[in-house]
Structure 1
């Protein structure tokens, strides 16, 4: 049996039965490595060596968590929350509540989309923006699964369609890897090829908001992780310092392309301005690391999992087996190619890291099946993105969970991964398959 399928299926089943996702990734990797003939000791060694692949990302998220806690102590989130409360009001006017929910949904979608292309900070905004508004969402009866789908949509759709920010990186990876495998593709043609798959994501988002999660859901008003017990005192100076720190973070992210440098820059602005006391810095960093520890450890485990999958060599075998099954049927070939992409990305947790793997396999397979260049782009781009929404180890799901679970009432698997998988991967799969058929 194919080791990739075994490893991913084991990981997903364990996650769904509420085994911690870090343990699920480790157990899935061990079983996959043994099934793939790597051997137990070698699998452990490969998994351990692979952990370093996400060390930079893990440290980035830890520092971003520290920055988020520091910003919270300046009073800026409280100011924003007070403004929203005044705007929303506290009455039972159904129409006003509906309009308030619509405005919050729109703003969150806009900010999350901007985080990929306009100001490419990815998930850095989530621990700053989401925890302070949880009590407002509770008052409005918002189902947090709807917020999870909105955030994941904004973290996914823009980069697969728009050639800016992270989109430029993603589409550049597609073009470069296709060229390396003997098929030249113009960058300008990639958005055209990815238009239909992106439309599938839009359809999934609308279904989630207006049908699946439109009803109210009750949550308790609990203390936010990292929030101080006593009410924070703030001044105009601390608010200005917080705004300057955020601007500094965005600028350094843009210049250095490093979340570590960006978070450090923001923290230094707060320290130098006096909004964050030096004697408080140790507590702030510790609280921030606690808040983002979950996402950091999952990313580390996912890196080890991906290393084991590659070591087995069964990714190539999976495609060879698929080729033998489909024969000359384009429809069947596209179906199996997308399934392969789904399994690989669900295991690795990164569409960016999946593209180099599947491009090596999909270009010759696509050419043999008679697909056009645009159709092959659509298949590679869609297969890479499949699983990014819904994968337990994807930062597109880990980011929303980190914000929405700040008070311990949002389960990563059942409240983020399952909803985003159902509403995004299914339509993305269908629309991606349709694109490959008509392009």
Structure 2
């Protein structure tokens, strides 16, 4: 079998990034980069096609689970449950702890399966008027939302967590539980850094506070929490059973493909909105479709990179500098997420490309999954990705101000990656 030269894989990735920056649809950009990478790297047309097909096939498990997650996400968002959770947390913690409330609500909403950009869009209208009242800046509340979202993302049934779990053949719940301590530390760091910059940057103008015309009746907080609680309980069955040596629970192999839709439907019935099942699930599917397409594009370029000797080249560089091989997992997550400006795409590419090399240096599959997943949130917010622009638009922030926030986002993500590396790389 032809091994693609690492330079071809790198050129393909660079081409994909350039195309994305040129506003080409990310899916086609990733496919275009994959084709160029295969051909430049020494593969023929037929081999390049096969490598791309193999790569897309490798992400189908993640795609199925992401589509299943759309049921839960659609129900939480369209029913107003996610918004109700955010409102309640901000209300209960009060104005004095508004940044903590914003970060915590963002963390919880993302942790139950809502994408970070959607979380920011949900929380921003709630956060802006309160932040204006207490006199803190756009930068601080946006960092609180993003940092909380990043913390929630690494413990969520979102595409990135699903991808690393599937890639290393470990339970999704184990990856979610494994990242809990880094997530909590990330939340704490988010709060302190957001407080530190609470007077830096642009203040919120009255004209920028959206008029919240709410025509739908939101559920109570208790009913809104039913679906997330059911999902957490069901996902915890297997890992808790293994920890407590309870054979019934440990042998209960219920995949996230079943758990997430079931939790969503139970929540829907608890909220008394069973007549909305078609509307909400269709909306959830529509929200997931762009992500699924990007996952397939990521699989295409991952197929090319995984058939190259890029991982060998990176391992050689790490070994020649004397750095421990433990760092390969978080570094691969950081680099691939930065290259694609996407947590989910970066996780897929890093897992597919460096997975075997990471396991070869003695890292356990669960440890590798957690470290890649936390590494992927360090610099996934670069300007060539959609999240950068969507988050700026949510608080009416200009590009210059948005770019100033990037180092602070990396502090939050970097902290979580460091904590995960210490726990799973050196203490395990």
TM-score, normalised via structure 2 length: 0.61
Conserved? CA contact 1:389–1:425, under 8 Å: yes
Distance in 1, matches of 2:397 and 2:278, equals 28
Partner of 1:7: 12
- Whether 1:275 aligns to 2:280 is no
- Whether 1:149 aligns to 2:157 is no
Matched pairs, number: 372
Conserved? CA contact 2:76–2:82, under 8 Å: yes
Query: Any residues of structure 2 matched to 1:164-203 within 5 Å, and which?
Result: none
* Structure-2 change in CA distance of 1:207 and 1:360 (3 Å): same
Partner of 1:209: 194
Conserved? CA contact 2:147–2:190, under 8 Å: yes
Partner of 2:302: 306
Distance apart, 1:304 and its partner CA: 2.0
CA RMSD of aligned residues (A): 5.7
Uncovered stretches (5+) of structure 2, i.e. residues with no partner: 1-5, 133-137, 171-177, 238-252, 340-344
- Whether 1:105 aligns to 2:99 is no
Distance apart, 1:135 and its partner CA: 0.9
Q: How big is each residue's C-alpha offset from its partner over 1:143-185, in whole Å with a ceiling of 9 and x where there is no partner?
A: 4344223321444499xxxxxxx8xx98xx699xxxxxxxxxx
Partner of 1:185: none
* Structure-2 change in CA distance of 1:200 and 1:8 (3 Å): farther
Q: How big is each residue's C-alpha offset from its partner over 1:283-335, in whole Å with a ceiling of 9 and x where there is no partner?
A: 22221122233322222221222111112334324545776xx3xx5269999
Uncovered stretches (5+) of structure 1, i.e. residues with no partner: 89-95, 116-120, 159-165, 176-190, 364-372
Query: Any residues of structure 2 matched to 1:38-437 within 5 Å, and which?
Result: 38-72=43-77, 74=79, 76-77=81-82, 79-80=84-85, 83=88, 97=95, 99-106=97-104, 108-109=106-107, 111=108, 115=111, 123-124=113-114, 131-139=121-129, 140=131, 142=138, 143-156=141-154, 205=190, 209-210=194-195, 215=200, 216=202, 218=204, 220=208, 231-233=215-217, 242-255=224-237, 256=253, 258-269=255-266, 275-278=272-275, 280-320=276-316, 326=320, 330=322, 342-343=334-335, 349-350=346-347, 356-359=355-358, 362=361, 385-391=374-380, 422-423=410-411
Distance in 1, matches of 2:336 and 2:215, equals 47
Distance in 1, matches of 2:404 and 2:65, equals 22
* Structure-2 change in CA distance of 1:66 and 1:43 (3 Å): same
Distance in 1, matches of 2:76 and 2:314, equals 47
Relative contact order (C-alpha < 8 Å, sep 6+): which is higher? 1
Distance in 2, matches of 1:124 and 1:131, equals 11
* Structure-2 change in CA distance of 1:353 and 1:307 (3 Å): closer
Conserved? CA contact 2:337–2:379, under 8 Å: no
TM-score, normalised via structure 1 length: 0.60
Q: How big is each residue's C-alpha offset from its partner over 1:228-263, in whole Å with a ceiling of 9 and x where there is no partner?
A: x97124677xx7655444433333333455332123
Distance apart, 1:266 and its partner CA: 2.8
**Larger-gyration structure (1/2):** 1
